[in-house]
């Protein structure tokens, strides 16, 4: 059980306001000063001090940096795992923590059992982002095994925040039709707020988006910095709608060109702007 820093045991939950104190306690438990933590993480001493006192927002990158420094001590790492979970998903998702542990142990069975959610994938990605063996295992699973394992592994890799992995996920979505359909369905369901079956029907139909609110949601998703898979899927869905709404789609994709760092995504955008099928990249 992870106890809420500064809260009663009955709550058993962190709030975002507690994250700075959690970082401080983990640092102190590791026997490090602010200066020592700054030297090891690459962040300035003043930045860390402000984050620990709540004067500056705590980010997943900062929590991952603390995780790397505190090492394998279970108690200190549990503090930070809970902090990542709170920041990303608004609580402490035991499912994500358990799956992250199985990934680090290179056990794939949990990921092969059911498709994970966007929030769970984000939390797992934050927990394994700096663990090279975990990333290697996810890369292997994204290419072999049951479709649900492949899409789950791809979904986690898509949220690591690496241009190289972003491109790898895009290539997987182009080549793997089963994973593409599952990922597209998940994006449509989450972004457009559709039930899973309705989302799957829209994906399989190949139809353009029918409502302005749907178009607005996907033009925003095409620059989602936290999910490379969702960005690629949004490009595909916008490509379907471009014949009916070329001005809106072209404006959104032109904006995405300014921020996109993955060459595979840039190629998909180029294909779409040229009136070609981005899944044929």
pLDDT in tens, 231-244: 999 999 999 999 99
To the question of pTM greater than 0.85 for the whole model, the response is no
> How large is the C-alpha radius of gyration of the chain?
20
The confidence score (pLDDT) of residue 10 equals 31
Is the residue at 196 inside a domain? yes
Same domain as 170, residue 267: yes
C-alpha torsion sign, points 232, 124, 64, 141? negative
Is the residue at 28 inside a domain? yes
- Segment 176-195 shows an average pLDDT of 94
DSSP 43: S
Is the residue at 137 inside a domain? no
What is each CA distance from 9 to 1, 3, 4, 24, 25, in whole angstroms? 10, 6, 7, 20, 17
Helices within 4-57 (DSSP H only): 19-29, 34-41, 45-52
Domain boundary among 66, 92, 118: 92
Is the residue at 58 inside a domain? yes
Same domain as 76, residue 179: no
Residue 56's pLDDT band, with cuts at 50, 70 and 90, is: confident
What is each CA distance from 208 to 203, 246, 249, in whole angstroms? 9, 12, 12
Domain boundary among 70, 92, 114: 92
In the numeric block, which tokens belong to residue 130? 């700096």
Integer Cα distance of 122 and 230 in angstroms: 12
- Segment 218-234 shows an average pLDDT of 95
The domain of 228 spans 161-274
Residue pLDDT, tens place only, 97-136:
888 889 999 999 889 888 888 888 998 998 899 899 999 9
Residue 57 reports pLDDT greater than 90: no
Is the residue at 125 inside a domain? no
Residue pLDDT, tens place only, 157-172:
999 999 999 999 999 9
The confidence score (pLDDT) of residue 58 equals 73
Q: How many domains does the chain have?
A: 2
Residue 254's pLDDT band, with cuts at 50, 70 and 90, is: very high
Residue 20 reports pLDDT greater than 90: no
């Amino acid at each position: 059980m992870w106890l809420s820093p500064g809260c009663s045991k009955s709550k058993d939950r962190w709030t975002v306001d507690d994250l700075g104190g959690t970082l401080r306690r983990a640092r102190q438990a590791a026997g490090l000063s602010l200066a020592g933590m700054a030297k090891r993480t690459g962040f300035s001493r003043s930045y860390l001090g402000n984050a620990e006192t709540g004067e500056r927002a705590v980010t997943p990158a900062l929590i991952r940096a603390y995780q790397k420094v505190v090492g394998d001590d279970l108690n200190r790492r549990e503090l930070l795992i809970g902090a990542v979970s709170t920041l990303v998903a608004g609580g402490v998702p035991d499912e994500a923590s358990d799956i992250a542990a199985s990934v680090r142990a290179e056990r794939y069975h949990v990921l092969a059992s059911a498709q994970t959610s966007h929030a769970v994938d984000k939390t797992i990605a934050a927990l394994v982002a700096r663990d090279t063996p975990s990333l290697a295992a996810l890369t292997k699973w994204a290419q072999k095994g049951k479709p649900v394992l492949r899409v789950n592994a791809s979904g986690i890799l898509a949220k690591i925040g690496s241009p190289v992995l972003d491109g790898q996920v895009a290539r997987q979505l182009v080549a793997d039709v089963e994973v593409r359909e599952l990922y597209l369905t998940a994006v449509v369901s989450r972004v457009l707020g559709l039930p899973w079956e309705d989302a799957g029907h829209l994906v399989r139909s190949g139809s353009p988006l029918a409502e302005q609110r749907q178009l607005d949601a996907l033009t925003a998703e095409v620059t989602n910095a936290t999910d490379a898979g969702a960005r690629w899927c949004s490009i595909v869905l916008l490509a379907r709608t471009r014949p009916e709404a070329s001005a809106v789609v072209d404006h959104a994709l032109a904006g995405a060109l300014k921020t996109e760092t993955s060459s595979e995504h840039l190629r998909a955008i180029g294909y779409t702007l040229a009136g070609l099928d981005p899944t044929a990249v």
